[in-house]
Structures are given as C-alpha cells and as structure tokens.
C-alpha cells in the first residue's frame, strides 16, 4: 500500500483495515482503500461510506477467491464505488483494474501482470 499511498493524487488518502458500510447489514473491510482527504480527517475513523471511497482493493487468497472475484465487485459497484482493483497472487502477480461503467456495473479496462524475472536481465518486468 506504500506505493499506492505515494502516488495518490492530491485530495485523496490511502488507508487499510477499515470498514466500508455499503448498507445497514452489509459491510466489508477491503485490503486497501483510497478515500477522499476530507473523509480521512485525522485518520482515526474505522468506517467509511461508499461516497467517500474512490477505490477499493482486494488481495485474493484461496479462502476469499469467490468473494473477491464475484460477490464484492457486485456490491461495491451497486454502492457506487468508482474503482475496484483485484490483486491475484497466483499463478503470477496480476492486478485487475475495474471502473464503474455507464450502466452501474464494473468494466475492466486493464490487467497488469508481473512477468517472471528474465534470465538475462535478472529482474522482473510488468506488462
């Protein structure tokens, strides 16, 4: 989340381990959030409303796969959260980016993959 925090535009803040109250009986704690700076305040809040959230980030694990791929994106979109990123760790690090489409659901404009290290260069690259 440090890289995301370092690159957040003015007027936004990055946080984690806080709840989004999507409805009275529906709440999630995403792995990361980009919220408005106004909502961030002094950083002590433990809950945000969807209109204060610009981006929800979920890191997929074996136990959360169905929730992160199907259920949460639908709920986040229905609540009007403009952006959703799903980070897959296997089989290779991939970030799927989604944005709210014209009809209220998410569309996926990009997937970014980290390729394996090149034997010649000895470092990894992104595609």
**Domains observed in the chain:** 2-126 (3.90.1570.10)
How many percent of the chain have pLDDT more than 70?
87
Helix%, strand%, coil% for the chain, nearest 5: 20, 40, 40
CB 49 within 8 A of CB 18: no
> How confident is the model over 83-107, as pLDDT tens digits?
999 999 988 999 999 999 988 899 9
CA 38 → CA 7, 34, 53, 81, distances in Å? 18, 12, 11, 16
pLDDT at residue 124 is higher than 80: no
Work out the pLDDT band at 111, boundaries 50, 70, 90: confident
What is the reported pLDDT for 28? 98
């Amino acid at each position: 989340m440090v890289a995301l925090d370092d690159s957040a535009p003015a007027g936004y803040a990055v946080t984690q381990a806080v709840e989004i109250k999507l409805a009275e009986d529906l709440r999630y704690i995403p792995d990361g959030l980009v919220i408005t700076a106004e909502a961030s305040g002094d950083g002590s809040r433990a809950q945000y409303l969807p209109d204060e959230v610009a981006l929800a980030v979920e890191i997929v694990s074996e136990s959360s796969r169905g929730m992160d791929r199907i259920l949460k994106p639908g709920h986040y979109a229905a609540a009007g959260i403009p952006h959703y990123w799903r980070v897959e760790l296997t089989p290779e690090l991939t970030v799927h980016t989604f944005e709210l489409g014209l009809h209220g659901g998410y569309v996926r404009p990009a997937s970014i993959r980290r390729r394996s290290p090149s034997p010649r260069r000895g470092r990894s690259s992104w595609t």
